[in-house]
Amino acid sequence: MLPDEQASPEQIEILRAMTGAQRLHLAEQLYWSARRMKSTGLRAQHPDWTEQQIEAETTRILLHAVS
């Protein structure tokens, strides 16, 4: 992990104070945000693609993503 990707002590404290349900909800929000950003980028790169093509490529990319 890069130094700027590491959670600060304050962030860690906030996450530890959250319930499991709250953390799960946060993870879900992050996932949908990532999908929207990826779809937006693909639309800009491929203005001729249909919405179905955008969604299929977004899904393909996220299914094969690694961290």
> pLDDT by residue (tens digit) across 7-23?
899 999 999 999 999 99
Mean pLDDT of 38-53: 98
Residues contacting 15, CB < 8 A, separation 6+: 7, 23
Q: Classify residue 39 by burial, with Cβ atoms within 10 Å: 0-12, 13-18, 19+.
A: middle
Give the pLDDT of residue 56. 98
Q: Is the pLDDT of residue 1 over 80?
A: no
pTM, rounded to two decimals: 0.77
Domain ranges across the chain: 3-63
